[in-house]
Structure 1
Amino acid sequence: MLNVHLVAHTHDDVGWLKTVDQYFYGVKNSIQHAGVQYILDSVISALLAEPTRRFIYVEIAFFSRWWNQQTNATQEIVRKLVHQGRLEFVNGGWVMNDEATTHYGAIVDQMTLGLRFLEDTFGTDGRPRVAWHIDPFGHSREQASLFAQMGFDGFFLGRIDYQDKQLREDSLEMEQVWRGSTSLEPPAADLFTGILPNMYNPPQNLCWDMLCGDNPVVEDPRSPEYNVKTLVTYFLKVATNQGQHYRTNHTVMTMGSDFQYENANLWFENLDKLIRQVNAQQANGSRVHVLYSSPACYLWELHKANLTWSVKKDDFFPYADGPHMFWTGFFTSRPALKRYERLSYNFLQVCNQLEALAGREATLGPYGRGDSALLNEAMAVLQHHDAVSGTAKQHVVNDYARQLAEGWGPCEVLLSNALAWLSGSKLAFSFCRELNMSICPPSQKSASFHVVVYNPLGRKVDQMVRLPVSKGVFLVKDPNGKTVLSDVVVVPSSDPQEHSPELLFSASVPALGFSIYSVTRMNQMMPQAPPPNSAPHKSQYRSLAIENEVVVVPSSDPQEHSPELLFSASVPALGFSIYSVTRMNQMMPQAPPPNSAPHKSQYRSLAIENEYIRATFDPDTGLLKEIRNKDKKLLLPVSQAFFWYIASAGDDKSRQSSGAYIFRPEEQKPFPVSRWAQIRLVKTALVQEVHQSFSAWCSQVVRLYQGQRHLELEWTVGPIPVGDAWGKEVISRFDTPMKTNEYFYTDSNGREILRRRRNYRPTWALKQTEPVAGNYYPVNTRIYIEDGRMQLTVLTDRSQGGSSLTDGSLELMVHRKLLKDDDRGVGEPLLEKGSGEVVRGRHLVLLDRVDSAAAEHRLLAEREVLAPQVVLAPADGARYRPRATPIKQFSGLRRELPPSVHLLTLARWGPDMLLLRLEHQFTAGEDSSRNLSAPVTVDLRDLFSTFAITHLQETTLAANQPRASASRLQWTPNTGPTPHPAPSTLDPSSITLQPMEIRTFVASVQWKDSKTRSRFRFSS
């Protein structure tokens, strides 16, 4: 028989066209008819009406809210349905997360939150066995690895590239084993993966929701609307055709879609009739059997087939659903939200760690009740595939930001409580949320203050602290009272009103003659192209008018700049250092008068350098020209500048336009924002900077701190002008003479590196229709090129789209502003207003030898994601308790972790219980210079200074089941049998990590009291 597994389901976006609350309560149905609370009410009633019916549910952010509003009687009914397997949870994360723009740490956190709710509420009955990502726009290899380590038996996808899907259907490879890691020993990261036949929708003409228009099943032969024969014949044809693309005598049909089943009776009544009528045809020789099923049941039948499956080793990026339709724009869409999400991940880890280190004193302290739960849930919501991806409506994006902001508040209270307890000082701690805009009232208005720098890494860090201050000279002292070298750096204002604009255009002048050009100021910000209906094509337009640009020149008046205090802080592992800052009673040294500043043409050797790096700039253009790694004796010509692509509005090849999801440039060659930059050189004892102004809306600071082995590029882009009726997609591009043979490299969710090749896919012969967009890939933390000897790496501070479109070149898209919707459902163009218009970010650039580059870029990426947290406090403060001895430096570790070991999670898990994750952050064979890829062993006994571990239990990655008792379905790949080593005994004194391995523990702990705690304070 051909067994057709009907999966009744609803796909409930945790925010998209409406906010999370609007979707749950059914508000604003004029935008989209959807009310999740009514879906769950209706489904439960429909399941109770007929015992053969089954239903699956996914998004725990919605289900947990609904559950907490139910009576005890209703909860007991639901528990019974779950126990019977009739209501089954799949995936089980707080949300169905995006896979392109998410960091692996945040993915693990949101899955842990959802799965823990299910475990606490339903026990093993509610434990999902199948991962279910039916809507994310492409799929990462790291996601498969994480799901495998969480204990899932299989993984089902909805969206894959249209060319890939066609080939898979023809070759019967819609289901295979996905090898999620090149380092973890199979089958640790192997995951059976199936592509659903119809994305996640029902077959055409078989949708029976209140949102659908298909005819219901009419069984009464006396009715003129009787349609059973026609419908059954059609269904048998659909099922047979679908089954031909799969290898077993089982096939799956998803019966549901977005926010369906609000009136579940419509669906189930028609499915009941369909099952009855189709199965009745078996008496006439039909070999099709239809049943209510679930992904786990379907997967179990595939496993029983005992087949050998092909193995996939790459990922599913980029995703296209048709020619000229590459979903690569969302890699960058809404960069301000992407940065806020990344900062919030950093802050949440700091919050979790200090709660773990201080114990109950963190939640109940002198500043009120602190709590990490609100930020934890907000961060989980942000991982949704329409949240951090930047593909929701503007009012929904604003709500996502609101949730993050509200989550920060209770965490700030928690941090204040913990810092008071651990330092022994009751200070009025302040948090400067707008440091990226050089705004921090405590440092700008106070004559003296403390700077508390907390380091969430397991190793000591030296961090350059920058704080906006008022004018003056400042004295900075370290925790031991020693004076620290500091500088006050004058930062040019980013306000274009405070700059002088200059018109720039190229003039062609005959020999010994002159040319006269006419200049007219238009009644708007930027020169307009002729109206669209009368304008020639853009390629013709350049022959009718001279390319010109208005360049904003920074004012030389120091009164129009913001001073920033700069000093280097040394912070112990998993601890803090407190520095004191005092403004002295004297004036700040004045900048040289404007007439004494050298003209740019006089900088014949314009460079910034320290003991490791020298960066040289072209004195005529002001652009980066060359990077020298003095330590490794490497020299590489590098030109870096900003460009923009014209966003397509559709053409004769395709109506497809660029939008929140889709990237489609009108031309392959981007336009320079400017061919030169107005520059300003800043050199102090601690930092050297070149300030570049490219235009009124694009500027950059190229920065080199003392002791730093990388170049820092801090860019500011926006508001992007679109008055010329052209949407723009802005990139930062690095051009070198390196011979890279079409290859470049990007990370996968911040972990393993994948090799990319232009116009190529590892598993099928690509028919490239978009040479730019079709070669873009997600960059979560880093992208690089190498020529066998040298490697040029660029690290990002948020997820962005990136590529190498010519040999020796790298580009990263930093911002987008678009005038048309891309017809993928969001229904509005990407025209951000307010805080999303102007975006500031950083790229960190490293030049190194290939054999040692991995260590540098991995460790630097770790520091970038988990940067030290800066907290301010007034200089005076009382003791926390009369007997407590105030301390100014503290470490939560008795000894540093090895460089290859990352403390991924340290968080409160329950009364006297903590969740602990350790990971090996290098891949096998990746680092040969320092042997950081070798297995490493950690002793957990007495590792932490504020608590002792009394009992340790190892769990799967998401901490929802003990590792010793966890079991997964084993699949046979065509690469040969895989060994299944028995789990090793747990010895806290010898926790060994293999390359790329993450080990998760639930630890019972006993916190040390204040008297004992003082013995473990960090001594410098």
Structure 2
Amino acid sequence: MRVRRLSAILGASLILGGCFMLYLIMDLTFLPQEIHSESHNKWAQLEDRLNQLEDDLRRHHDTVGQLKHSIKDMVGEGLRQESLSPNRTTSSPRMDLLSCGLQVSTPPHTDVQLLELYKQLKFDNLDGGAWKQGWNIEYSQHSWNPHKKLKVFVVPHSHNDPGWIKTYEDYYHSQTRNILNNMIKKLREDDRRKFIWAETSYLALWWDEISQEEKAQAKQLLANGQLEVVMGGWVMNDEANTDYYSILTQMIEGHQWLQNNMDYTPRSSWSIDPFGESPSMAFLVKRMGLENLVIQRVHYSVKKMLARSKNLEFLWRQTWDGSGSTDLLTHMMPFYSYDVPHTCGPDPKVCCQFDFRRLPGYGMACPWRTPPQVITEHNVAHRAEMLLDQYRKKAQLYRTNVVLAPLGDDFRYDQASEWDAQFNNYQRIFDYLNTNPTLNVEAQFGTLSDFFTAVREEVSPEQFPTLSGDFFTYADRDDHYWSGYYTSRPFYKRLDRVLMGYLSSRPSFASWLLAPETGLTKLLSDARRSLSLFQHHDGVTGTARDYVVEDYAKK
């Protein structure tokens, strides 16, 4: 009761202090006219009032500080008395007080605290050479041996935005449908092939079109580990503008769909395109039962500093968590982007030569003007060792000998020819690397689960550094800070919150759900999916084309 009374006093003092400051500000707004007529005297009065304001604010600050310390002392004393009580139970109001915002304490220690790290950064963006935002990476040939091989997992993927340059439906009909159809066909041609998929909203459109035989084939690919659904949300949501209720809605919508239609539960999360990364999302992912997370869009200076200390893989911990119960094993990609030129290693000119969608005649080219080559028995040794050099350099940035090398980009694998070009050429490279024991490497296609399983086998999770904080504001190069989307298109951001408000009141309609003839079930399902779709990182952010944003608004 005393704590509650002090809390009320503290709140009241803050309100009174705010009102007092507002009164002085309003009072001062009338001074200019008086000063104009009696300038000398009024300036003296103004100075006196400002001095009085400073004194009052100082006293108010001291009073609030004393109240905080009194509350802290009362909580501590109450807990000490309760711990000595023979009738103490496992839960009490005072114990509950420890988890509320009233508690005054310092954050638990972590190996990396991002607020402290930001104070150390120079944000100087020095030219690092081939890796522009890094440095020239060197390694010893003796870092690996027959008992300690480099393990490389090349993870084919296709990032499918549910609305950006085109609308959700337009993307599906023009590209995504082809990707998913080819996925079934091409993975079944060779059981060494792997693929990951993230956006459940597109799976739902596709599922309604395919045959029962194709559905069974998709389930089989999931069961044998060739296909993995990562994250599993309706979309890959933004992490800055979204409300936690909407994030949960879109994740539940996606996960329930996967359970109901594919009997599948995701294990790993994949957040490669949201413009900055939030610890709240990591907390929700952990509570949803996912075990691992991959992130990409983080300020290039932060990446460089974490890479220097080999802290790009860490246990992401909440700032209020003293026990480590919120720890989530997180892998941060080190380079500029998630496309092929920036994922095999530090030199994009070399990595681009191993994006076989860019072979001459395929309609894409490498900006560095050195195209890929078809892998043959005559060039495989040279080409494979060139790629291995990039993998080895990338491994120097992490604490394990397990390398994640994503192989994809936006709306990739929409043509059957790309599946053949990527998988056939890489398999020839893998065969060469794996059959030459002096290279001490095992390379293969893999999923996120394959990669994280290998990581955990080499290093137990508790050996990774702990990290707390958020990865905002994102900059991909120079001073290009991605912050305009925090406030852009406010009308549509407001629509998002209005729909969220309607949906959050749905428990009051629970009795109506028992009467399907009302149609409320269909309305609620459509509303959830519309809200979920808009959580996409090009939806609520406002970063899509005008007509795409208008399409979201109509939904």
1:334 Cα deviation from its structure 2 partner: 0.7
User: Structure 1 pair 303/150, CA: closer, same or farther in 2 (3 Å)?
Assistant: same
Residue type at the aligned position of 2:248: V
Alignment check: 8 A CA contact 1:217 1:228 kept: no
Determine helix, strand or coil for the equivalent of 1:9. strand
Q: State the secondary structure of the residue aligned to 1:371.
A: helix
Following TM superposition, by how much is the alpha carbon of 1:302 offset from its aligned partner in structure 2, in angstroms?
A: 1.3
Q: Counterpart amino acid of 1:61? A: S
> Is residue 294 of structure 1 aligned with residue 294 of structure 2?
no
Matched, 1:170 2:308: yes
Kindly report structure 1 stretches of 4+ aligned residues shifted beyond 4 Å: 214-217, 367-370
SS of the equivalent of 1:372 reads helix
Match of 1:22 among 167, 170, 187: 170
Q: Does 2:523 align with 1:371?
A: yes
Q: Does 1:319 align with 2:442?
A: no
Deviation at 1:37, TM superposition (A): 0.3
The residue that corresponds to 1:245 in the other structure is 397
Contact 1:5/1:251 (CA < 8 Å) preserved in 2?
Answer: yes
- The residue aligned with 2:501 is 346
Q: Give 1:465-614 correspondences, 5 Å limit.
A: none
Q: Deviations over 1:627-668 (max 9, x none)?
A: xxxxxxxxxxxxxxxxxxxxxxxxxxxxxxxxxxxxxxxxxx
- Out of 188, 206, 219, which is 1:48 matched to? 188
Count of residues in correspondence between the two structures: 385
Gaps of 5+ in 2: 1-148, 342-350
Cα deviations across residues 793-833 of structure 1 (Å, max 9, x unaligned)? xxxxxxxxxxxxxxxxxxxxxxxxxxxxxxxxxxxxxxxxx
Amino acid at match of 1:289: E
Deviation at 1:108, TM superposition (A): 0.5
Secondary structure in structure 1 of the residue aligned to 2:356: coil
Q: Is residue 2:265 matched to residue 1:127?
A: yes
**What is the DSSP-based 3-state SS (H/G/I as helix, E as strand, rest coil) of the residue aligned with 2:439?**
coil
Amino acid at match of 1:399: D
Paired residue for 1:189, among 326, 347, 353?
326
Residue-by-residue CA offset, 1:596-654 (whole Å, 9 max, x unaligned): xxxxxxxxxxxxxxxxxxxxxxxxxxxxxxxxxxxxxxxxxxxxxxxxxxxxxxxxxxx
- Equivalence for 1:259: 411
Amino acid at match of 1:302: V
- Per the TM alignment, residue 78 of structure 1 is displaced from its structure 2 partner at its CA by 1.0
Residue 229 of structure 1 deviates from its aligned partner by 3.8
TM-score, scaled relative to structure 2: 0.66
1:120 shift after superposition: 1.1
Please list, as runs of the form range in 1=range in 2, the aligned pairs for 1:105-124 lying within 5 A after superposition.
105-123=245-263
1:95 aligns with 2:225: no
- 1:219 Cα deviation (Å)? 3.9
Instruction: Kindly indicate whether the alpha-carbon contact (under 8 Å) linking 1:218 and 1:228 is maintained by their aligned counterparts in 2.
Output: no
CA distance in 1 between counterparts of 2:479 and 2:324 reads 37
Q: Which residue of 1 aligns with 2:456?
A: 303
What one-letter code is carried by the residue in structure 2 that aligns with 1:286? Answer: L
Counting only pairs closer than 5 Å after superposition, residues 892-971 of structure 1 correspond to structure 2 as: none
SS at match of 2:315: strand
In structure 2, do the counterparts of structure 1 residues 338 and 279 end up closer, same or farther at CA, with 3 Å as the change threshold?
Answer: same
**1:13 and 2:161 aligned:** yes
The amino acid of 1:305's aligned partner reads E
Q: 1:243 to 1:24 in 2, by over 3 A?
A: same
CA gap of 1:301–1:369, structure 2 versus 1, over 3 A, is: closer
Q: Distance in 2 between matches of 1:389 and 1:304?
A: 39
Contact 1:200 / 1:257 at 8 angstroms: preserved in 2? yes
| Aligned counterpart, 1:231 | 383
Alpha-carbon contact 1:319-1:327 (below 8 Å) kept? yes
Q: Given that residues 186 and 419 in structure 2 are in contact (C-alpha distance below 8 angstroms), is that contact kept between their aligned partners in structure 1? A: no
Cα distance in 1 between the residues matched to 2:423 and 2:520: 54
Contact 1:42 / 1:264 at 8 angstroms: preserved in 2?
Answer: yes
8 Å Cα contact 2:298-2:475 kept in structure 1: yes
Distance 1:155 1:173, change over 3 A: same
In the alignment, residue 143 of structure 1 is paired with which amino acid?
Answer: M
Counterpart for residue 389 of structure 1: 541
Quickly say closer, same or farther: Cα 1:163–1:368, change in 2 above 3 A.
Answer: closer
Q: Which whole-Å CA distance do the structure 1 matches of 2:501 and 2:381 have between them? A: 60
Measure how far apart 1:211 and its partner are: 5.8
**Aligned ranges for residues 795-810 of structure 1 at < 5 Å?**
none
Distance change in 2, residues 1:402/1:89 (3 Å): same
Residue 301 of structure 1: CA displacement? 1.3
Question: Secondary structure in 2 aligned to 1:340?
Answer: helix
Tell me how far 1:369 sits from its aligned partner: 7.7
Counterpart selection for 1:80 from 220, 232, 235: 220
Q: Which of the pair is proportionally richer in helix?
A: 2
- Give secondary structure in 1 for the equivalent of 2:192: coil
Distance in 2 between residues matched to 1:83 and 1:39, nearest whole Å? 20
Q: Gapped runs of 5+ residues in structure 1?
A: 27-34, 404-1020
Instruction: Report the CA distance between 1:370 and its aligned residue.
Output: 5.7
- 3-state DSSP class of the match of 1:194? strand
Q: How does 1:757-796 map to 2 (within 5 A)?
A: none
Q: What's the CA shift for 1:288?
A: 2.3
- Supply the AA of the counterpart residue of 1:97: N
Kindly state the Cα deviation for residue 231 of structure 1 after the two structures are TM-superposed: 2.0
Cα displacement (A) at 1:279: 4.1
Flag the structure with more relative contact order, 1 or 2, with Cα contacts below 8 A and sequence separation at least 6: 2
Higher mean C-alpha deviation, range 69-78 or range 105-114: 69-78
> What letter is aligned with 1:70?
I
Find the counterpart in structure 2 of residue 285 from structure 1. 438
CA contact 1:179–1:191 (8 Å) conserved in 2: yes
Q: Which residue of 2 aligns with 1:413?
A: none
Kept in 2: contact 1:98–1:384 (CA 8 A): yes
Question: What do the CA deviations read for 1:877-932 (whole angstroms, capped 9, x no partner)?
Answer: xxxxxxxxxxxxxxxxxxxxxxxxxxxxxxxxxxxxxxxxxxxxxxxxxxxxxxxx
Q: Counterpart in 1 of 2:100? A: none
Listed one character per residue, the Cα deviations across residues 174-207 of structure 1 (whole Å, up to 9, x for unaligned) are: 1000013515x64432111111244322233221
Does the 8 A contact of 1:97 with 1:383 survive in 2? yes
1:217 and 1:121, CA in 2 relative to 1: closer, same or farther beyond 3 A? Answer: farther
Match of 1:144 in 2: 282
More strand by share: 1
- Cα deviation 1:483-502 (Å, max 9, x = unaligned): xxxxxxxxxxxxxxxxxxxx
Residue pair 1:4, 1:251 contacting (<8 A) in 2 also: yes
The Cα of 1:90 is off from its aligned counterpart by 0.4
Tell me if structure 1 keeps the 8 A contact 2:179–2:415.
yes
Deviations 1:862-882 (A, max 9, x none): xxxxxxxxxxxxxxxxxxxxx
Opposite residue 428 of structure 2, the aligned amino acid is R
Aligned residues of 1:197 and 1:253 also touching (Cα < 8 A)? no
Superposition RMSD in Å: 1.9
Against the structure 1 CA distance between its residues 211 and 253, is the aligned structure 2 distance closer, same or farther, given a 3 Å change threshold? Answer: farther
Q: Please, what TM-score do these two structures have when normalized by structure 1?
A: 0.37
In 1, the alpha carbon distance for the partners of 2:266 and 2:545 equals 31
Alpha-carbon distance between aligned partners in 1 of 2:184 and 2:363, rounded to the nearest angstrom: 19
Query: Structure 1 residues 269 and 379, CA, compared in 2 at 3 Å: closer, same or farther?
Result: same
Q: Which amino acid aligns with 2:535?
A: Q
Gap change, CA 1:191 and 1:11, over 3 Å in 2: same
**Is the Cα–Cα contact under 8 Å of residues 268 and 449 in structure 2 kept in the other structure?**
yes
